[in-house]
Amino acid sequence: MPIIAFPSAGNDENAVLDLRFGRAKNFVLYNENTKTFSVVENTQNMQANQGAGIQSAQNILDNNASVLISGNCGPKAFRVLNAAQVQIFFAEAKPIIELLQDYQQGLLKKAESANTEGHWV
Amino acid sequence: MKIAIASGKGGTGKTTFALALFLANSDRSVFLDCDVEEPNAHLFLKGIEKQKDVVQLLIPKVNADLCNQCGLCVKSCQFNALAMAGKAGVLVFNELCHSCGACTLICPTGAIQDVETPVGEISIYDLKGGAEFLSGRLKVGHSAAPAVIQAVKKHPSTTPYTHHIIDSPPGTSCSFVTSVSGADFVILVTEPTPFGLHDLKLAVEGVENLKLPYAVVVNRVREKDHLIKKYCAEKNIKILLELEEDRRVAEMYSKGGTLLEVLPDLKEKLNLLLSDLEDQVGANP
Ligand code: SF4
Ligand code: SF4
C-alpha cells in the first residue's frame, strides 16, 4: 500500500496543498497501511539556486512515497519521479484531507508529463 | 588591452556601444560576445562564420553495472545535479552539473566516469575588411555559462589582437564576474533614468569588489544635467561619453544596423577614447 505525499506549508491533513512543489516547506505524508498522517520537512540544499524540484523529488523518494499529489511538477522532478515509478496526480490548492478523498475516489488527473517549465517548481 | 563592456541590466544599449567601439577600432581589435545566454552581436556584425568549436566539460556518467546505489554521490553534489531514482539508479542532470568532480571522487565502487560533454559552442566570424569576432553560446538550460565565457576569452584566435572588446552579460551574476575579471578596464553603460541609476550602482559595486578600473558611458541622454551625472560627480567616477537620445539609432538598431551608420562622426571619438584608455592603462598597469 502506498505512501502518498502532499507538498504543503502546514503540518497536517487540514493544511492546504502548496502549489510550488520545489519550494514547498513540508510534505504531509499519508500511509495507506496504517491510515495515519505524518509530516517531513522538504529540506533543500541552500547552496544550489537551481534544482529545487530535483531535491524535492529526491525527498519524496527518500520517504518511500509512491504517489505525489501536487499542483505542479517541472520537467526535471518529473524525470526523477517517473524513473522511480512514482505516480503523480495534479490537484488544486485545497485542504489535504479533501484531496485524499478525491484521490481515493479516483477524481484526480494522473500526470503524463511535466506541466511547468520554470525552474522554481 | 582587454576592455569589458557591461551594464547592471539589459536594454541600456550596452551591445550597441560595444559594437560601435569595436567597429571604430576594428583594425586593431577583436570583439568577444560573452553574453553567452543570449548572444546577439552576430545579428549586427553580419560576418561569415568560418569556424565553430565545441566547448566541453567533464560531466559524470554512471555505470549502472558497478553502482550499488549507496547514494553517496547524490549527497556529495552541491548543485542538485544528481538524483537517486529508486531501482532506476542514479540520474544525472547535465545542465545543472558544475563539473566539480566531487561525485566521481566519492563513489566507492568506481561506477562514475567523467565524460567530455558539450555545454556550448564558440563561433568565429570573419568580417569585411579582415576583422574578426567571436561569439559564445551556451546550450539552452545549461548552467555552465562561466565555462563558455572562459573558453571565448581564452580562444587562440584572439591572441593576434592588441585589444579585446568584451561584451559582457548583464547583471552582477557569476557570468558577469567571469567575463569582466582579468579586464584592464571596464566600461559601464547606463541611461539617465532611475532604473539606469539603480542598475549602475549594482554594477559599480560589482566592479569595485573586483578592484577593476572603470568608467561610465551614458546612453539616451535628453538633458544636459541628469541623475547619472550627479551620481558620478559625487562618487568621482569618470564619464567617458554621453550619447544623445536619437530616434534614428533605435530605428537603425531594429533593422540590425549599428551606431556608426547613424553617427559617422562618432568613429573618431571612439578612436580617441580607445587610445586614451590605452594611455591610462599603460600608465597604471
Ligand atoms: S561533478 Fe560535481 S556538480 Fe557535477 S554531478 Fe558531480 S558532484 Fe554534482
Ligand atoms: S556513489 Fe557510486 S555506487 Fe554510490 S550511488 Fe553513486 S554511483 Fe552508485
Residues B277, B185: contact at Cβ < 8 Å?
A: yes
Q: Please say if the pLDDT value at position B22 is more than 90.
A: yes
Strands B132-138 and B112-126: antiparallel
Q: How confident is the model at residue A117 (pLDDT cuts 50, 70, 90)?
A: low
The minimum CA-CA distance between A81 and chain B, rounded to whole Å, is 7
Query: CB-based burial of residue A102 (10 Å sphere; 0-12 exposed, 13-18 middle, 19+ buried)?
Result: middle
**pLDDT tens, position by position, A7-48:** 999 999 999 999 989 889 999 999 999 999 999 999 887 666
- Domain parsing of chain A, residue ranges: 3-104
Residue A121 has what pLDDT?
A: 37
Residue B196 has which C-alpha cell?
539606469
Query: CB-based burial of residue B113 (10 Å sphere; 0-12 exposed, 13-18 middle, 19+ buried)?
Result: middle
**pLDDT tens, position by position, B147-185:** 999 999 999 988 888 899 999 998 767 889 999 999 999
**pLDDT tens, position by position, B32-63:** 999 999 899 998 888 899 999 999 999 999 99
Q: How confident is the model at residue B257 (pLDDT cuts 50, 70, 90)?
A: confident
CATH code at A3-104: 3.30.420.130
| Residue B78 shares a structural domain with residue B44 | no
Residue B111 has what pLDDT?
A: 96
Does residue B140 sit within a domain? yes
Does residue B228 sit within a domain? yes
Does residue B37 sit within a domain? yes
Domain of residue B104 covers 64-110
Length of chain A: 121
**pLDDT tens, position by position, B202-219:** 999 999 999 999 999 999
Q: Which of A50, A55, A80 sits opposite B85 (nearest CB)?
A: A80
Cα dihedral B150, B155, B160, B164 sign? negative
Q: Kindly identify which residue of chain B lies nearest to residue A64, measuring between CA atoms.
A: B86
| Residue B179 shares a structural domain with residue B226 | yes
- Compute the distance between CA of residue A50 and CA of residue A67 in angstroms, rounded to an integer: 24
Average pLDDT, chain A: 89
Number of compact structural domains in chain B: 2
The letter for the amino acid at B237 is I
Give this complex's ipTM.
Answer: 0.77
The average pLDDT across B80-99 equals 92
Partner A, chain B 120-159, Cβ-Cβ below 8 Å: 143
DSSP characters over A63-105 = TT--EEEES---HHHHHHHHHTT-EEEE--S-BHHHHHHHHHT
Cβ pair B96:A51 closer than 8 A: yes
**Ligand showing the shortest atom-to-Cα distance for residue B60:** 1
CA distances from B22 to B25, B42, B132 (A): 5, 13, 10
Q: A95 Cβ partners below 8 Å, 6+ apart? A: A13, A14, A15, A16, A17
Q: B104 Cβ partners below 8 Å, 6+ apart? A: B60, B112, B113, B114
Query: Which residues does ligand 2 sit against, CB inside 6 Å?
Result: B 62, 67-73, 90, 106-107, 109, 111-112
Residues B84, B90: contact at Cβ < 8 Å?
A: yes
Residue A119 has what pLDDT?
A: 42
Q: Please say if the pLDDT value at position A120 is more than 50.
A: no
Share of chain B above pLDDT 70, in %: 99
The average pLDDT across A49-63 equals 90
- Compute the distance between CA of residue B84 and CA of residue B237 in angstroms, rounded to an integer: 52
Query: Chain A residues with CB inside 8 Å of B85's CB?
Result: 61, 80-81, 83-84
Residue B283 has what pLDDT?
A: 63
Residue B284 has what pLDDT?
A: 56
**pLDDT tens, position by position, A73-107:** 988 999 999 999 999 999 999 999 999 999 999 99
Radius of gyration of chain A (CA): 13
Q: B218: helix, coil or strand?
A: strand
Best CA proximity match to A67, nearest among A90, A45, A51: A90
| Residue B75 shares a structural domain with residue B214 | no
Query: Chain B residues with CB inside 8 Å of A47's CB?
Result: 78-79
Does residue B117 sit within a domain? no
Q: Please say if the pLDDT value at position B66 is more than 70.
A: yes
Q: A56: helix, coil or strand?
A: helix
| Residue B102 shares a structural domain with residue B131 | no
Does residue B116 sit within a domain? no
Residue B282 has what pLDDT?
A: 74
Cα dihedral B47, B52, B57, B62 sign? positive
The minimum CA-CA distance between A58 and chain B, rounded to whole Å, is 6
Residue B128 has what pLDDT?
A: 83
Write the CATH number for B11.
3.40.50.300
CA B216 to centroid of chain Cα atoms: 17
The average pLDDT across B217-233 equals 92
- Compute the distance between CA of residue B24 and CA of residue B26 in angstroms, rounded to an integer: 6
Write the CATH number for B79.
3.30.70.20
Residues B23, B257: contact at Cβ < 8 Å?
A: no
Residue B3 has what pLDDT?
A: 96
Q: Please say if the pLDDT value at position B251 is more than 80.
A: yes
Residues B169, B175: contact at Cβ < 8 Å?
A: yes
- Compute the distance between CA of residue B165 and CA of residue B16 in angstroms, rounded to an integer: 12
- Compute the distance between CA of residue A97 and CA of residue A66 in angstroms, rounded to an integer: 18
Cβ pair B93:A47 closer than 8 A: no
Q: Please say if the pLDDT value at position B120 is more than 90.
A: yes
| Residue B141 shares a structural domain with residue B159 | yes
The average pLDDT across B270-283 equals 86
* Helices A52-62 and A75-83: angle between axes, nearest 10 degrees: 20
